[in-house]
Structure 1
Amino acid sequence: MDRQIITSPRVTPMRSGVNHAVKAGGFVFVTGVTPFRGAERMAATIDKGDLVAQVRQVMTNMQAILEEAGTSLEKAVKMNVALTDMGRYAEFDATFKTFFKDGNYPARQTTESVRLAHPDFLVSIDCIAVA
């Protein structure tokens, strides 16, 4: 099976030993996308404390990664969401749904994760999409 590494120049480069995504077997597997804004790691910013802004940035970054792989959010089949505060689920969900046509949502699991990879992250989302 062929395997293609996907990196978007519009998304902050990964610091850990992962890539933005890997395309294989007719799918794109996107690493947990973070709310960093900016294509340069040292200049990247984050909207501290603002869940809605962070969800929007995560989904914007996700779109850029999927587009780089030749697909889109419309072809997302499964997402895993990590929220630092499940008490803000409704706020998260309302923002998340704006990125999809009504009813065309991927399968999704949302869990609470007290600590994410950066102390200012409130959300991280990974994705599997049809290539």
Structure 2
Amino acid sequence: MTTLERIRVPGHFKVSAPITPAVRAGNLLFVSGIPAYDAEGRLAIGDFPAQMRQVMRNVGEILAEAGTGWEHVAKVNILLTRREDFEEMNRIYAAHFPDGQYPARTTAIVYSLPRANFLLEIECTAVIP
């Protein structure tokens, strides 16, 4: 039987929803849909590049806390609320994989996310070496 370990990053914003930022099951890490809140709980309203960079920073910190990194991410799901942000999202996303070794990915344009000012959320699955 696999034990589940809840992963939280010290100093990260507190989530009011009943979720855990990530859960480790064996050598797999499942990262929840992560919004663009900074450590103080602020969101860059309407600024897609700022939100995208913050989400990638948040996910990167969760990966590091669990003992892994972007190079071990197997699958990414990206939810965007605006189709026009797709190219900018790709540019910022690709910068986290400088060797061009991208994980499997699904990107969806959604009608809405849980908070009106969220422009995106990212979730992923990674291997912990």
Helix, strand or coil at the partner of 1:109: strand
Residues 1-131 of structure 1: matches in 2 within 5 Å?
Answer: 1-38=2-39, 43-131=40-128
Shift of 1:76: 0.5
Distance 1:108 1:10 in 2: 29
Letter paired with 1:26: N
> What CA RMSD, in Å, does the superposition of the two structures yield over aligned residues?
1.1
The percentage of aligned residue pairs carrying the same residue is 35
Q: Deviations over 1:10-29 (max 9, x none)?
A: 42122111101000031100
For structure 1, the residue ranges without an aligned partner over 5 or more in a row are none
Letter paired with 1:2: T
Q: Deviations over 1:67-114 (max 9, x none)?
A: 111111111010100000122211111111111123121110000112
Helix, strand or coil at the partner of 1:31: strand
What TM-score do the two structures reach when normalised by structure 2?
A: 0.93
Helix, strand or coil at the partner of 1:81: strand
Q: Deviations over 1:44-75 (max 9, x none)?
A: 11111111111100000001111111111111
Distance 2:124 2:11 in 1: 18
Distance 2:27 2:99 in 1: 25
For structure 2, the residue ranges without an aligned partner over 5 or more in a row are none
Distance 2:60 2:100 in 1: 18
Letter paired with 1:56: R
> Where in structure 1 do 4 or more consecutive aligned residues deviate above 3 Å?
none
What TM-score do the two structures reach when normalised by structure 1?
A: 0.92
